[in-house]
Chains A and B, each alone.
Chain A
Amino acid sequence: MEIIISILSGILFTIGTYLILSKNMTKIIIGTAVLSHGVHMLLLTMGGLKLGAAPLLGYEEAAYTDPLPQALILTAIVISFGVTSFLLVLAYRTYKVHGTDDMEKLRGMIDDD
């Protein structure tokens, strides 16, 4: 099972990298979202995908899944959510001010304008 999920998160990394290398700003942001999905899946996989009950003590099972990676992912998800929403608003504002969403046209040094 770990092999399959690892390959899947590898595919997500590939897609994310490809999208980040594109010119269009929206595509880049979608790329970062896909990349962070890949990372979160990797975090879950690396904690081990052994069979066990959900980490709730009320189940009184013999074995539980590892609760630590789940807490880490929850933290990482909210952080990447905050950053992504900031990035979306920043992209919108940049589009408004510069009138383009093409990264090639956003080149140039500071003293150009």
Chain B
Amino acid sequence: MTNLIILPILIPFFTAVILLFIRKSVTVERIISIIAGIAVVIVSGLLAYDVLQNGVYSYNLGGWVPPFGIALVADSLSALLVLFTSIVVLVCLLFSIRGIDEIRTKFYFYPLVYFLMTGVIGAFLTGDIFNMFVFFEVLLMSSYGLITLGGSKAQLRESIKYVLINVISSAFFVMAIALLYSVTGTLNIADLSSRVAEVGQPGILTVIAFLFLIVFGMKAAIFPLFFWLPGSYAAPPPVITALFAGLLTKVGIYAIFRIFTIVFYHEPQITHLTLEVLAVLTMIVGVIGAVAYTDLQKVLVYNVVAGVGFIIFGISSFNEAGIFGATFYLLHDMLIKAALFLLVGAMIIITKTSSMHKASGLIKKHPLVGWSFLVACLSLAGVPPFSGFFGKLFLIQGGFEAGQYFSVIILILASLLILYSVMRIFFNVILGEENYETMNEKVSIKGLLYPSMILLFLTFIMGMGAEAIVPYISDATETLLNPELYIEAVLKE
């Protein structure tokens, strides 16, 4: 049981290594990857349960006590994120059986997905800031591979920008770590937190906090640093975009959670006010983009940006309701964004166009696609029986408690426009006269639909059975608001 925390990192890693050797036998590759995916879901479920029972869990790699060695730390937030990551990856793997072409599969699609998963889960579980940088590079390097895989004209053009922006942000990450090391002399997050608390966060540490905000904001696509996302997320095939939208920006958000609740929480009137302003601007930009475009993938990509704004707003409230709402919304957002991209991927495969005006009347032949898309839209906008509602409810409550009335109004208006942007897809493409001349009658979408049905079922459960998931999220909130719980678990003396 003591080594349980390392399994969600090791299983994907060794699976990826094994898959590298058998790239030509596609069926074997699929079987192995799905079995490993199920194994990771089970293991991370056990980890989440263990953390809820016994509190924050820390494991010292190689037996070196922190702050000298690298520690892996699982609190409720990271355990839940690991569980949801493994679910999203498993669902995308199920979709990829039909949803990705043979050539891409043969050229290391599955190993790249598993290396991506290793990086994401590692970044969630690490308790060391430089180790987090290394896991970021693992996930970025595999995302470079996935975004260029296939090598179409648009993919090459957009991925060169994606790679470039991430090279620059990685350079900034190393720079921020260097400056932080020169001030505090440590790299362990718990040790950093106690040392920052000792000196009471003077000006230089606030500057470093902003440098970290720039770095993680570039990964998470918050307002002035989101410009790379729309182009590069719309270029690769839908299943890869679903993986990216479900996981990559969320790693940046998680890092902002960690840094601004555990290490740099002493000057909230500067850092958290900035977070609030940036969150509101991110929402505004996201909904403007979502309403402006008529391309299906573009609309969803801008919805990713708006979702990031909602979550960051919850962190900026910095009270129990706000953090609770942000955590709930983060988990809901991972599921629903992946589900939406997979559904739109299925729709594009049926209609052979991603434009909103070239096809309509999908519901006559494919009613299940239509109704699942409606459910996904309502859940995204936050209509009560679904999971999006509780997250937003607590975000709004947190905002009112923190006195951020103007920002809350923007949040509600943004939700309205998000509902408009996705319902426009529903009315134009799904309802209406039957008109899609390019449609291939022989296309069977059975295999493409049930993965997103799994995700929709989970969001439904998360909304209806919110009682069951609330203890986990309250536990995560408690650890985030009381850094001493985290510090005591890591530095046991």
Binding site for B on A (CB under 8 A): 20, 25, 28, 32, 35-36, 38-40, 42-43, 45-48, 68-69, 72, 75-76, 79-80, 82-84, 86-87, 90-91, 93-94, 97-98, 106, 108-111, 113
Task: State which size class the interface on B falls in.
Answer: 35 or more
B130 at the interface (CB under 8 A from A): yes
B157, A39: Cβ atoms under 8 Å? no
Number of A-B contacts (CB under 8 A): 105
Residues of B within 8 A of A93 (CB): 151, 156
Residues of A within 8 A of B295 (CB): 110-111
A43, B170: Cβ atoms under 8 Å? no
Distance in Å: Cβ of A26 to nearest Cβ of chain B: 12
A86, B141: Cβ atoms under 8 Å? yes
B159 at the interface (CB under 8 A from A): yes
| B162 closest partner in A (C-beta) | A90
In the complex with contacts A42-B178, A94-B160, A113-B153, A32-B235 CB distance below 8 A: no
In the complex with contacts A42-B175, A110-B231, A97-B154 CB distance below 8 A: no
B134, A75: Cβ atoms under 8 Å? yes
In the complex with contacts A35-B171, A90-B159, A47-B153 CB distance below 8 A: no
Task: Give the residue of B148, B157, B235 whose beta carbon is less than 8 angstroms from that of A98.
Answer: B157
* 16 residue pairs from A and B, CB less than 8 Å apart: A20-B164, A32-B171, A36-B167, A36-B171, A39-B171, A43-B177, A47-B178, A47-B181, A72-B174, A75-B130, A76-B174, A79-B170, A84-B167, A87-B163, A110-B297, A111-B295
Residues of B within 8 A of A97 (CB): 151, 153, 156
Q: What CA separation (Å) do A45 and B156 show in the bound complex? A: 37
Could you list 7 further interchain pairs (A-B, Cβ under 8 angstroms) beyond the known A90-B160, A111-B355?
Answer: A20-B168, A40-B174, A46-B179, A68-B187, A83-B163, A110-B231, A110-B295
In the complex with contacts A72-B130, A76-B174, A90-B160, A113-B154 CB distance below 8 A: yes
B53 at the interface (CB under 8 A from A): no
Chain A facing B: main interface SS: helix
| B138 closest partner in A (C-beta) | A79
B134, A35: Cβ atoms under 8 Å? no
B154, A69: Cβ atoms under 8 Å? no
Binding site for A on B (CB under 8 A): 130, 133-134, 137, 140-141, 144, 148, 151, 153-154, 156-160, 163-164, 167-168, 170-171, 174-175, 177-179, 181-182, 187, 231, 234-235, 295, 297-298, 354-355
Q: What CA separation (Å) do A108 and B154 show in the bound complex? A: 9
A79, B137: Cβ atoms under 8 Å? yes
A110, B234: Cβ atoms under 8 Å? yes
B235, A28: Cβ atoms under 8 Å? no
Q: What CA separation (Å) do A42 and B178 show in the bound complex? A: 7
Distance in Å: Cβ of A70 to nearest Cβ of chain B: 12
Q: What CA separation (Å) do A45 and B458 show in the bound complex? A: 50
Give the top 9 A-B pairs by smallest Cβ distance, nearest first: A46-B182, A43-B178, A46-B178, A94-B156, A39-B171, A39-B174, A79-B137, A110-B234, A32-B167
Distance in Å: Cβ of A47 to nearest Cβ of chain B: 7
Task: Give the residue of A45, A76, A90 whose beta carbon is less than 8 angstroms from that of B163.
Answer: A90
Residues of B within 8 A of A36 (CB): 167, 171
Question: Which of B133, B141, B153, B355 has the most chain A CB within a 10 Å cutoff?
Answer: B153
| A87 closest partner in B (C-beta) | B163
Residues of A within 8 A of B140 (CB): 83
Distance in Å: Cβ of B337 to nearest Cβ of chain A: 19
| B140 closest partner in A (C-beta) | A83
Task: Give the residue of A47, A80, A94, A110 whose beta carbon is less than 8 angstroms from that of B235.
Answer: A110
Distance in Å: Cβ of B69 to nearest Cβ of chain A: 12
In the complex with contacts A20-B168, A46-B178, A82-B355 CB distance below 8 A: no
Distance in Å: Cβ of B67 to nearest Cβ of chain A: 11
Residues of B within 8 A of A86 (CB): 141, 144, 163
Residues of A within 8 A of B156 (CB): 90, 93-94, 97-98
Residues of A within 8 A of B154 (CB): 110, 113
Q: What CA separation (Å) do A82 and B177 show in the bound complex? A: 20
Question: Which of A28, A38, A83, A110 has the most chain B CB within a 10 Å cutoff?
Answer: A110
